[in-house]
Copies of this chain bind each other. A is one copy, B any other.
Amino acid sequence: MNELSPNPAAIVIATARALIGDRLSTNDAIRQQHGRGEDTTTPTLPDAVAFVETTEEVVEIVKLCHQHGVAITPFGAGTSLEGHVNPVRAGLSLDLSRMTAVLEVNAEDMDCLIEPGVTRQQLNEYLRDQGLFFPVDPGSVCTIGGMCATRASGTNAVRYGTIRENVLGLEVVLADGRVIQTGGRTRKAANGYDLTRLFIGSEGTLGIITKVRLRLHGIPEAMTSAVCQFPSLEAAVNSVITTMQAGVPVARIELLDEVQMAACISYSKLEGYKPVPTLFLEFHGTEAGVVEQAELVEGITSEYGAEGFAWARDAESRNKLWKARHDAFWACLAAQPGSRGIATDVCVPISRLADALLGCKRDIEESGLMAPIVGHVGDGNFHTVILVEDGNPQALERAWELDKKIVKRALDLGGTCSGEHGIGLGKREFLEAEHGVEAMAVMRSLKVAMDPKGILNPGKIFRN
């Protein structure tokens, strides 16, 4: 490297700075903030961070990186649990979190058009007056662009579907800077290849999402939450399976094991609950409908020995409950200070949930590690947060062993290694086992067709 041939990243940085001024940052602290998400990966620093504000800026920066073969790693709220935002080949971290405009709300069609940096909390705040809401709810304060990229879901998916079912269309900047619109405003269409679904879950490896058209839902006439506590994990899981098989349209059905419940009671100051396996439930519908649903589930859970089916009808109690559920990850970390958490994310067919979850519990007990279990069990999806002392490589190794055991069991039961967190860096090795060599080859051929230079979030999804 000499002055006559500056390196490609340096050219990109200089040109991008001319374009967006001091929103192109090489500041150390900012680069470090963009080195990883909320996971246990080793941070890798980008050469610079570009805080973009418009599609046009994204286009210019992508063209620049394409011309010079410099990697681009999109960044939203930085809440990834699988290393999605780590710039493993340096280059630019493309921070879209300032693109926060709500561009359209069509109340009569229940859709809206937003920029990708809008968080679900911001959107729901914006929509509240119109009697509408956006149901997909991964818990954390994440951007909707990031949710699209990772095919996010969360607590409400059991009733309202994941982000996949709630995106009508996208604007995407391709690897060479071309811009496409996918999908449309209609509830359905049979109009060529489903490009929208191709980008949902592609983790920034096929294009940069710069606008999202979402499907919205009417705020239900009535909402009731409930908590019920069980004598055993098995009783709680079997209640879930029976409820789902009975076709009760629960809006949320979340399981916390006794370790997670103890952590939440302590962290969120929940009063009147015991540290035992617990279900948090929510019912949406008409006034009569939610009573009907809740009574059905109360009947099922009491047959499995649950006690204290406590209803919360008022918004304040409901919000406190779901805040506690959403803070479960932080409650875990607080339960063992100085730790980071490896979040597992398996999902299995509902009939296999007891095998997967109880087997996982045994594995945790055998490992001697602390790993609370919490899950979107109505979808067959649950997490353990394996707590690892920061900077303890032996503990980290034992944690990864446990992680692999849990994933292997789920795959053996017909499940997937990721229900909602995505692949990123952390789950790449499981993907071939799950899909087989030929399906992976098809995914690679799509990647090559869409991003022949391999500049878009390199190193993610595929191991090589």
Residues of B within 8 A of A380 (CB): 186-187
User: In the complex the two chains form, what is the Cα distance from A351 to B349 in whole Å?
Assistant: 38
Select the stretch in A48-56, A120-128, A198-206, A308-316 that faces chain B. Answer: A198-206
A427-456 Cβ-contact flags toward B at 8 Å (1 or 0): 100010011101111110110111000000
Query: Does A358 sit at the interface, judged by CB under 8 A?
Result: no
User: In the complex the two chains form, what is the Cα distance from A112 to B354 in whole Å?
Assistant: 21
Instruction: Find out whether the CB atom of A191 lies under 8 angstroms from the CB atom of B435.
Output: yes
Residues of B within 8 A of A192 (CB): 201, 423, 431, 435, 440, 443, 461
A232 to chain B, nearest CB (A): 21
A410 to chain B, nearest CB (A): 9
A196 to chain B, nearest CB (A): 8
Query: Does A259 sit at the interface, judged by CB under 8 A?
Result: no
A123-154 Cβ-contact flags toward B at 8 Å (1 or 0): 00000000000000000000000000011110
Instruction: Find out whether the CB atom of B190 lies under 8 angstroms from the CB atom of A422.
Output: yes
Residues of B within 8 A of A351 (CB): 106, 108-109
Known: A194-B197, A286-B292. A188 touches B381 (CB 8 A): yes
The residue from B182, B190, B442 contacting A180, defined by CB atoms under 8 A apart? B442
Query: Does A336 sit at the interface, judged by CB under 8 A?
Result: no
User: In the complex the two chains form, what is the Cα distance from A244 to B152 in whole Å?
Assistant: 27
Query: Does A99 sit at the interface, judged by CB under 8 A?
Result: no
Closest to A108 in B: B351
Instruction: Find out whether the CB atom of B245 lies under 8 angstroms from the CB atom of A191.
Output: no
The residue from B106, B191, B345 contacting A418, defined by CB atoms under 8 A apart? B191
A207-227 Cβ-contact flags toward B at 8 Å (1 or 0): 000000000011000000000
- Report the interface size for chain A: residues with CB under 8 A from the other chain: 84
Instruction: Find out whether the CB atom of B190 lies under 8 angstroms from the CB atom of A421.
Output: yes
Query: Does A185 sit at the interface, judged by CB under 8 A?
Result: yes
Residues of B within 8 A of A153 (CB): 188, 190
Instruction: Find out whether the CB atom of B446 lies under 8 angstroms from the CB atom of A194.
Output: no
User: In the complex the two chains form, what is the Cα distance from A164 to B168 in whole Å?
Assistant: 13
The residue from B109, B178, B449 contacting A448, defined by CB atoms under 8 A apart? B449
User: In the complex the two chains form, what is the Cα distance from A288 to B296 in whole Å?
Assistant: 14
Give the residues from 147 to 172 in chain A that come closer than 8 angstroms, CB to CB, to chain B: 150-153, 157-158, 161-162, 164-165
A417 to chain B, nearest CB (A): 6
Query: Does A37 sit at the interface, judged by CB under 8 A?
Result: no
Apart from the given pairs A190-B421, A194-B198, A194-B201, 7 other A-B contacts in the complex at a CB distance below 8 Å: A106-B351, A109-B351, A151-B189, A186-B348, A188-B381, A191-B423, A445-B450
Query: Which A positions have Cβ atoms within 8 angstroms of B?
Result: 106, 108-111, 150-153, 157-158, 161-162, 164-165, 174, 178-182, 184-195, 197-198, 200-202, 206, 217-218, 241, 245, 247, 286, 288-289, 292, 345, 347-351, 379-381, 414-423, 427, 431, 434-436, 438-443, 445-446, 448-450, 461
